């Protein structure tokens, strides 16, 4: 067993291949996609000596288990979780050497939602439009992992990583999202904008890679009806007819007809990827 590949022993609730996404195709209706927590994706790649944009595995809630067919260095980061090799505990958030045929398991997230597995050499799934990312909305990229699937690995990096452990941000106990109001904040009443800026929300269990849905007070509209479809960006806070804000994430549609009350600062979206259902959410308008 010396071929550069790994088999999926346990796929988990939702495990996908992700890199830093496929930019520049919104005019074709193709979202950027990519890792929801790009900070974690970059860091696990650096731990195993990969470039930042190498493809990794992104797990959801209950992790996954893989069996490499060759000896390979793997790092697990993002949401903290137990990590084992053939049942023996190994380090989370650090580079681990896994022998050929051994089973590495990333367990259920202790906090947060999404863990990331990087293999030295990266996951070498076939790229589509310049990216190996799985896009759940358009269906582009490799299919979500299934038990028994075999995925190829790229060539082992020529140089080892310059470090073997790194500091990690903790998943948020409260998700604070800094926003710029607009472009359609004038479609909402003054009272609704005060509610948006001062009242608390919670992450809904209906959240996914397309959008973080919220539970909390509805935002009252000042303008009835709906817009013609217009372009949407990652971080757009769209308000559907029920009045509860939805924050668009990596697999969001490129157009939409519900009004966007605000746009989240890009640097805050990685924390949104790790906010579990029930996490308090606050929207903080920037001056």
Q: Determine the Cα angle at 199 with ends 169 and 213, to 5°.
A: 60
pTM of the model: 0.94
Q: Quick one: pLDDT at residue 171?
A: 86
Backbone dihedral angles phi then psi of residue 195, each to the nearest 5 degrees: -60, -45
Name the H helices within 152-244.
Answer: 190-198
The CATH superfamily holding the domain 175-285 is Cyclophilin-like (2.40.100.10)
**H/E element holding 41?**
helix 38-47
Among residues 229, 240, 248, which one has the least CA distance to residue 31? 248
| Structural domain boundaries in the chain | 5-152, 175-285
Beta bridge partners of 56: 18
Rounded alpha-carbon distances, angstroms, from residue 143 to 94, 105, 159, 229: 27, 20, 31, 29
User: Is residue 77 within 8 Å of 58, Cβ to Cβ?
Assistant: no
User: The tokens of 80 are what?
Assistant: 């903290």
Q: Quick one: pLDDT at residue 226?
A: 85
pLDDT in tens, the chain (287 residues): 459 999 999 999 999 999 999 988 888 888 889 999 999 999 999 999 999 999 999 999 999 999 999 999 999 999 999 999 999 999 999 999 999 999 999 999 999 999 999 999 999 999 999 999 999 998 999 999 999 999 999 998 876 666 666 778 888 899 999 999 999 999 999 999 999 999 999 999 999 999 999 999 999 999 988 889 999 999 999 999 999 999 999 999 999 999 999 999 999 999 999 999 999 999 999 97
């Amino acid at each position: 067993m010396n071929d550069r590949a790994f088999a999926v022993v346990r796929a988990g609730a939702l495990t996908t291949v992700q890199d830093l996404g496929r930019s520049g195709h919104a005019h074709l209706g193709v979202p950027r996609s990519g890792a929801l927590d790009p900070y974690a994706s970059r860091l696990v790649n650096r731990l195993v000596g990969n470039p930042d944009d190498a493809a990794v595995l992104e797990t959801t809630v209950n992790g996954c288990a893989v069996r490499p067919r060759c000896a390979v260095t793997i790092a697990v980061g993002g949401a903290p979780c137990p990590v084992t090799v053939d049942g023996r505990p190994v380090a989370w958030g650090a580079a681990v050497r896994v022998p050929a045929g051994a089973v590495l398991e990333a367990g259920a997230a202790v906090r947060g939602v999404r863990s990331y597995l990087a293999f030295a050499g990266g996951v070498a799934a076939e790229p589509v439009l310049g990216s190996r990312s799985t896009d759940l909305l358009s269906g582009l990229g490799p299919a979500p992992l299934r038990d028994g699937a075999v995925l190829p690995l790229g060539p082992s990096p020529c140089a080892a990583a310059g470090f073997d452990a790194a500091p990690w941000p903790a998943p948020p106990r409260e998700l604070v999202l800094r926003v710029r109001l607009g472009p359609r904040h004038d479609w909402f009443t003054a009272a609704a904008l005060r509610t948006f800026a001062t009242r608390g929300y919670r992450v809904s269990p209906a959240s996914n890679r397309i959008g973080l849905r919220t539970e909390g007070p509805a935002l009252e509209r000042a303008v009835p009806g709906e817009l013609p479809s217009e372009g949407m960006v990652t971080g757009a806070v769209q308000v559907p007819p029920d009045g509860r804000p939805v924050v668009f994430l990596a697999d969001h549609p490129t157009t939409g007809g519900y009004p966007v009350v605000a746009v989240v600062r890009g640097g805050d979206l990685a924390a949104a990827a790790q906010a579990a259902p029930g996490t308090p959410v606050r929207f903080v308008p920037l001056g």
